[in-house]
Structure 1
Protein backbone atom coordinates (compact mmCIF):
# COMPACT_ATOMS: atom_id res chain seq x y z
CA UNK A 1 0.00 0.00 0.00
CA UNK A 2 1.34 3.45 -0.75
CA UNK A 3 2.83 5.06 2.36
CA UNK A 4 0.43 8.03 2.22
CA UNK A 5 -2.70 5.84 2.37
CA UNK A 6 -3.84 4.71 5.86
CA UNK A 7 -4.91 1.05 6.18
CA UNK A 8 -8.65 1.79 6.42
CA UNK A 9 -8.61 4.37 3.64
CA UNK A 10 -9.00 2.20 0.50
CA UNK A 11 -12.19 0.46 1.66
CA UNK A 12 -13.63 3.72 2.99
CA UNK A 13 -12.87 5.51 -0.30
CA UNK A 14 -14.60 2.78 -2.32
CA UNK A 15 -17.63 2.70 -0.02
CA UNK A 16 -17.88 6.51 -0.15
CA UNK A 17 -17.66 6.42 -3.95
CA UNK A 18 -20.37 3.77 -4.27
CA UNK A 19 -22.64 5.63 -1.84
CA UNK A 20 -22.20 8.86 -3.82
CA UNK A 21 -22.95 7.08 -7.09
CA UNK A 22 -26.08 5.45 -5.66
CA UNK A 23 -27.25 8.89 -4.49
CA UNK A 24 -26.39 10.28 -7.96
CA UNK A 25 -24.06 12.76 -6.27
CA UNK A 26 -21.60 12.82 -9.16
CA UNK A 27 -19.79 15.87 -7.79
CA UNK A 28 -18.93 14.09 -4.55
CA UNK A 29 -18.02 10.88 -6.39
CA UNK A 30 -15.67 12.77 -8.74
CA UNK A 31 -13.65 14.08 -5.78
CA UNK A 32 -12.54 10.48 -5.15
CA UNK A 33 -11.28 9.89 -8.70
CA UNK A 34 -7.82 10.33 -10.15
CA UNK A 35 -7.52 12.43 -13.31
CA UNK A 36 -6.54 9.24 -15.20
CA UNK A 37 -9.65 7.33 -14.02
CA UNK A 38 -11.09 4.63 -16.29
CA UNK A 39 -14.03 2.27 -15.83
CA UNK A 40 -15.46 -0.68 -17.71
CA UNK A 41 -18.88 -2.28 -17.21
CA UNK A 42 -20.31 -5.39 -18.91
CA UNK A 43 -21.01 -4.41 -22.51
CA UNK A 44 -19.46 -0.95 -22.25
CA UNK A 45 -16.30 0.39 -23.71
CA UNK A 46 -13.75 2.16 -21.56
CA UNK A 47 -15.29 5.24 -19.97
CA UNK A 48 -13.43 8.13 -18.31
CA UNK A 49 -16.19 10.32 -16.86
CA UNK A 50 -19.13 9.58 -14.59
CA UNK A 51 -21.57 11.38 -16.88
CA UNK A 52 -20.58 8.86 -19.59
CA UNK A 53 -21.62 6.06 -17.23
CA UNK A 54 -24.95 7.70 -16.42
CA UNK A 55 -25.73 8.15 -20.12
CA UNK A 56 -24.64 4.58 -20.95
CA UNK A 57 -26.75 3.09 -18.12
CA UNK A 58 -29.89 5.14 -18.84
CA UNK A 59 -31.32 2.60 -21.29
CA UNK A 60 -30.34 -0.38 -19.16
CA UNK A 61 -31.99 0.39 -15.81
CA UNK A 62 -33.76 3.22 -13.97
CA UNK A 63 -31.65 2.75 -10.87
CA UNK A 64 -29.53 0.16 -9.14
CA UNK A 65 -28.52 -0.36 -5.51
CA UNK A 66 -25.67 -2.52 -4.31
CA UNK A 67 -26.08 -4.75 -1.28
CA UNK A 68 -22.44 -5.33 -0.43
CA UNK A 69 -21.67 -8.72 1.13
CA UNK A 70 -17.93 -8.21 1.55
CA UNK A 71 -15.04 -5.90 0.72
CA UNK A 72 -11.47 -7.17 0.39
CA UNK A 73 -8.31 -5.12 0.02
CA UNK A 74 -5.09 -6.31 -1.62
CA UNK A 75 -1.98 -4.17 -1.32
CA UNK A 76 0.51 -3.95 -4.15
CA UNK A 77 3.61 -1.90 -4.83
CA UNK A 78 2.01 0.28 -7.52
CA UNK A 79 -1.61 0.38 -6.30
CA UNK A 80 -4.10 -1.05 -3.82
CA UNK A 81 -6.87 -3.23 -5.24
CA UNK A 82 -10.25 -3.24 -3.53
CA UNK A 83 -12.81 -5.90 -4.43
CA UNK A 84 -16.42 -5.70 -3.34
CA UNK A 85 -19.15 -8.17 -4.14
CA UNK A 86 -22.78 -8.74 -3.34
CA UNK A 87 -26.13 -8.36 -5.04
CA UNK A 88 -27.84 -5.67 -7.09
CA UNK A 89 -31.43 -4.52 -6.64
CA UNK A 90 -33.13 -1.97 -8.85
CA UNK A 91 -35.64 -1.29 -11.62
CA UNK A 92 -35.56 -1.99 -15.32
CA UNK A 93 -36.45 0.91 -17.64
CA UNK A 94 -40.13 -0.18 -17.67
CA UNK A 95 -40.35 0.01 -13.86
CA UNK A 96 -40.19 -3.74 -13.25
CA UNK A 97 -38.09 -4.46 -10.15
CA UNK A 98 -35.12 -6.81 -10.05
CA UNK A 99 -33.24 -8.17 -7.05
CA UNK A 100 -30.49 -10.59 -6.12
CA UNK A 101 -28.30 -10.03 -9.19
CA UNK A 102 -24.68 -10.93 -8.46
CA UNK A 103 -21.91 -8.36 -8.92
CA UNK A 104 -18.20 -7.93 -8.36
CA UNK A 105 -16.44 -4.56 -8.56
CA UNK A 106 -12.66 -4.26 -8.69
CA UNK A 107 -11.06 -0.90 -7.93
CA UNK A 108 -7.45 0.24 -8.17
CA UNK A 109 -6.41 3.10 -5.88
CA UNK A 110 -3.22 5.10 -6.01
CA UNK A 111 -2.34 7.98 -3.66
CA UNK A 112 -5.82 7.95 -2.13
CA UNK A 113 -7.66 8.20 -5.47
CA UNK A 114 -9.55 5.68 -7.59
CA UNK A 115 -7.73 5.16 -10.89
CA UNK A 116 -9.70 2.21 -12.26
CA UNK A 117 -13.03 0.45 -11.79
CA UNK A 118 -13.93 -2.85 -13.42
CA UNK A 119 -17.44 -4.25 -12.99
CA UNK A 120 -18.80 -7.75 -13.55
CA UNK A 121 -22.46 -8.66 -12.99
CA UNK A 122 -25.28 -10.93 -14.12
CA UNK A 123 -27.71 -8.18 -15.20
CA UNK A 124 -27.82 -9.52 -18.76
CA UNK A 125 -28.95 -12.92 -17.43
CA UNK A 126 -31.64 -11.37 -15.21
CA UNK A 127 -33.13 -9.02 -17.78
CA UNK A 128 -36.67 -9.97 -18.86
Structure 2
Protein backbone atom coordinates (compact mmCIF):
# COMPACT_ATOMS: atom_id res chain seq x y z
CA UNK A 1 0.00 0.00 0.00
CA UNK A 2 2.08 2.95 -1.26
CA UNK A 3 1.60 6.28 0.49
CA UNK A 4 2.69 9.42 -1.34
CA UNK A 5 3.01 12.71 0.56
CA UNK A 6 3.55 15.97 -1.30
CA UNK A 7 3.93 19.50 0.00
CA UNK A 8 2.36 22.29 -2.05
CA UNK A 9 1.90 25.96 -1.40
CA UNK A 10 -1.64 27.15 -0.76
CA UNK A 11 -3.51 28.59 -3.68
CA UNK A 12 -4.18 25.64 -5.96
CA UNK A 13 -7.87 25.06 -6.62
CA UNK A 14 -9.58 21.72 -6.01
CA UNK A 15 -9.41 20.74 -9.69
CA UNK A 16 -5.62 21.23 -9.76
CA UNK A 17 -5.20 19.26 -6.53
CA UNK A 18 -7.39 16.44 -7.87
CA UNK A 19 -5.38 16.32 -11.10
CA UNK A 20 -2.13 16.25 -9.07
CA UNK A 21 -3.41 13.40 -6.89
CA UNK A 22 -4.51 11.40 -9.94
CA UNK A 23 -1.16 12.01 -11.68
CA UNK A 24 0.75 10.83 -8.60
CA UNK A 25 -1.46 7.74 -8.37
CA UNK A 26 -0.85 6.99 -12.06
CA UNK A 27 2.92 7.49 -11.60
CA UNK A 28 2.99 4.92 -8.78
CA UNK A 29 1.12 2.42 -10.97
CA UNK A 30 3.85 2.67 -13.64
CA UNK A 31 6.25 1.07 -11.14
CA UNK A 32 4.32 -0.62 -8.33
CA UNK A 33 1.64 -3.25 -9.11
CA UNK A 34 -1.01 -1.68 -6.89
CA UNK A 35 -4.66 -1.00 -7.56
CA UNK A 36 -5.60 2.71 -7.48
CA UNK A 37 -7.64 2.28 -4.31
CA UNK A 38 -4.54 0.86 -2.56
CA UNK A 39 -2.52 4.03 -3.28
CA UNK A 40 -2.85 6.91 -0.83
CA UNK A 41 -1.92 10.45 -1.81
CA UNK A 42 -1.71 13.11 0.89
CA UNK A 43 -1.25 16.75 -0.08
CA UNK A 44 0.08 19.02 2.63
CA UNK A 45 -0.74 22.65 1.91
CA UNK A 46 1.35 25.29 3.53
CA UNK A 47 0.94 29.04 3.59
CA UNK A 48 3.33 31.18 1.57
CA UNK A 49 4.69 32.62 4.81
CA UNK A 50 5.98 29.15 5.78
CA UNK A 51 8.11 28.77 2.66
CA UNK A 52 11.24 30.60 1.55
CA UNK A 53 13.77 29.96 -1.17
CA UNK A 54 16.84 32.15 -1.50
CA UNK A 55 15.78 34.09 1.60
CA UNK A 56 12.54 35.21 -0.07
CA UNK A 57 8.94 34.09 0.39
CA UNK A 58 7.68 32.56 -2.83
CA UNK A 59 4.32 31.88 -4.39
CA UNK A 60 3.41 28.71 -6.21
CA UNK A 61 3.30 28.77 -9.98
CA UNK A 62 -0.18 28.63 -11.45
CA UNK A 63 -1.37 25.14 -12.34
CA UNK A 64 -1.05 24.18 -15.98
CA UNK A 65 -4.34 23.67 -17.82
CA UNK A 66 -5.59 20.11 -18.17
CA UNK A 67 -3.90 18.91 -21.40
CA UNK A 68 -6.80 16.59 -22.30
CA UNK A 69 -9.23 19.52 -22.01
CA UNK A 70 -6.93 21.65 -24.20
CA UNK A 71 -6.90 18.94 -26.90
CA UNK A 72 -10.68 18.40 -26.68
CA UNK A 73 -11.27 22.16 -27.05
CA UNK A 74 -8.92 22.32 -30.04
CA UNK A 75 -10.55 19.36 -31.78
CA UNK A 76 -14.03 20.82 -31.14
CA UNK A 77 -12.95 24.17 -32.60
CA UNK A 78 -11.49 22.43 -35.68
CA UNK A 79 -14.64 20.37 -36.19
CA UNK A 80 -16.75 23.56 -35.96
CA UNK A 81 -14.27 25.25 -38.36
CA UNK A 82 -13.68 27.94 -35.75
CA UNK A 83 -10.14 28.44 -37.00
CA UNK A 84 -9.48 31.57 -34.96
CA UNK A 85 -10.20 29.73 -31.70
CA UNK A 86 -8.22 26.68 -32.82
CA UNK A 87 -5.27 28.86 -33.90
CA UNK A 88 -5.24 30.57 -30.48
CA UNK A 89 -4.62 27.14 -28.89
CA UNK A 90 -1.43 26.52 -30.88
CA UNK A 91 2.05 27.18 -29.56
CA UNK A 92 5.22 28.39 -31.22
CA UNK A 93 6.68 25.92 -33.70
CA UNK A 94 3.39 24.02 -34.10
CA UNK A 95 3.60 21.17 -36.61
CA UNK A 96 1.10 18.55 -37.83
CA UNK A 97 1.85 15.20 -39.45
CA UNK A 98 -0.94 13.32 -41.22
CA UNK A 99 -0.81 10.14 -43.31
CA UNK A 100 0.56 11.39 -46.63
CA UNK A 101 1.30 14.91 -45.36
CA UNK A 102 4.00 15.76 -42.87
CA UNK A 103 5.34 19.07 -41.67
CA UNK A 104 2.14 21.10 -41.97
CA UNK A 105 2.46 24.25 -39.88
CA UNK A 106 -0.80 26.12 -40.48
CA UNK A 107 -4.46 25.18 -40.30
CA UNK A 108 -4.91 26.55 -43.81
CA UNK A 109 -2.33 24.02 -45.11
CA UNK A 110 -4.30 21.22 -43.44
CA UNK A 111 -7.59 22.36 -44.97
CA UNK A 112 -6.06 22.68 -48.45
CA UNK A 113 -4.47 19.22 -48.15
CA UNK A 114 -7.70 17.56 -46.94
CA UNK A 115 -10.07 19.25 -49.41
CA UNK A 116 -9.65 16.70 -52.25
CA UNK A 117 -9.73 13.79 -49.77
CA UNK A 118 -13.15 14.30 -48.15
CA UNK A 119 -15.96 16.88 -47.90
CA UNK A 120 -15.87 16.72 -44.12
CA UNK A 121 -14.69 14.47 -41.34
CA UNK A 122 -15.81 14.26 -37.73
CA UNK A 123 -14.68 12.15 -34.83
CA UNK A 124 -16.29 9.91 -32.27
CA UNK A 125 -13.97 9.55 -29.28
CA UNK A 126 -13.32 6.32 -27.40
CA UNK A 127 -10.89 7.97 -25.00
CA UNK A 128 -8.20 10.47 -24.14
CA UNK A 129 -5.02 9.65 -22.23
CA UNK A 130 -2.38 12.07 -20.99
CA UNK A 131 1.14 11.42 -19.75
CA UNK A 132 4.18 13.53 -19.09
CA UNK A 133 6.68 13.55 -21.92
CA UNK A 134 10.04 15.22 -22.13
CA UNK A 135 9.23 18.90 -21.57
CA UNK A 136 5.59 18.55 -22.61
CA UNK A 137 2.37 16.72 -21.85
CA UNK A 138 1.52 14.02 -24.38
CA UNK A 139 -2.16 13.40 -25.10
CA UNK A 140 -3.57 10.52 -27.13
CA UNK A 141 -7.08 10.81 -28.56
CA UNK A 142 -8.54 7.67 -30.12
CA UNK A 143 -11.79 6.67 -31.73
CA UNK A 144 -13.42 6.53 -35.15
CA UNK A 145 -13.94 8.93 -38.04
CA UNK A 146 -17.12 9.54 -40.00
CA UNK A 147 -17.95 11.98 -42.77
CA UNK A 148 -18.38 12.23 -46.53
CA UNK A 149 -16.07 11.45 -49.42
CA UNK A 150 -15.69 14.15 -52.13
CA UNK A 151 -18.62 12.66 -54.10
CA UNK A 152 -20.94 12.97 -51.08
CA UNK A 153 -20.96 9.27 -50.18
CA UNK A 154 -20.83 8.73 -46.42
CA UNK A 155 -18.12 6.88 -44.51
CA UNK A 156 -17.89 5.84 -40.90
CA UNK A 157 -16.15 3.55 -38.40
CA UNK A 158 -12.62 4.43 -39.61
CA UNK A 159 -10.16 4.03 -36.74
CA UNK A 160 -7.85 6.88 -35.75
CA UNK A 161 -5.28 7.82 -33.12
CA UNK A 162 -4.07 11.40 -32.68
CA UNK A 163 -1.00 12.15 -30.58
CA UNK A 164 -0.57 15.71 -29.30
CA UNK A 165 2.24 17.48 -27.50
CA UNK A 166 1.07 20.27 -25.19
CA UNK A 167 3.70 22.72 -23.91
CA UNK A 168 2.76 25.37 -21.33
CA UNK A 169 -0.91 24.84 -22.17
CA UNK A 170 -0.46 25.25 -25.96
CA UNK A 171 -0.53 22.50 -28.60
CA UNK A 172 2.85 22.29 -30.31
CA UNK A 173 2.58 19.02 -32.25
CA UNK A 174 -0.09 16.74 -33.69
CA UNK A 175 0.61 13.34 -35.23
CA UNK A 176 -2.29 11.49 -36.83
CA UNK A 177 -2.73 7.83 -37.76
CA UNK A 178 -5.91 6.48 -39.33
CA UNK A 179 -7.23 3.77 -41.66
CA UNK A 180 -8.66 6.03 -44.41
CA UNK A 181 -6.17 4.76 -47.02
CA UNK A 182 -6.91 1.13 -46.12
CA UNK A 183 -10.65 1.70 -46.41
CA UNK A 184 -10.23 3.34 -49.83
CA UNK A 185 -7.83 0.60 -51.03
CA UNK A 186 -10.23 -2.16 -49.94
CA UNK A 187 -12.82 -1.00 -52.44
CA UNK A 188 -15.28 -0.33 -49.65
CA UNK A 189 -18.58 0.71 -51.29
CA UNK A 190 -18.43 4.09 -49.56
CA UNK A 191 -14.77 4.79 -50.38
Structure 1 residue 4 displacement after superposition: 4.2
- Among candidates 99, 116, 129, match of residue 72 of structure 1: 129
Deviations 1:28-81 (A, max 9, x none): 100100021000000002100000000000000000000000000011340000
- Higher fraction of helix: 2
Distance in 2 (CA, whole Å) between partners of 1:118 and 1:94 is 27
Alignment partners' CA distance in 2, 1:24 and 1:39? 17
Q: Which residue of 1 aligns with 2:108?
A: 51
The alpha-carbon deviation at position 114 of structure 1 amounts to 0.3
> 1:21 Cα deviation (Å)?
0.5
Per-residue deviation at 1:104? 0.1
Q: Identify unmatched segments of 5+ residues in structure 2.
A: 1-22, 24-60, 185-190
Residue pair 1:79, 1:108 contacting (<8 A) in 2 also: yes
CA RMSD of the aligned region, Å? 1.6
Tell me the TM-score normalized by structure 1.
Answer: 0.93
Listed as ranges, the gaps of 5+ residues in structure 1 are none
SS in 2 for 1:46: strand
Choose between structure 1 and 2 for higher RCO, CA contacts under 8 A separated by at least 6 residues. 1
Q: In the alignment, does 2:119 pair up with 1:62?
A: yes
SS of equivalent residue, structure 1 residue 28? helix
What is the number of equivalent residue pairs in this alignment? 126
Quick one: which of 69, 75, 92 aligns to 1:12?
69
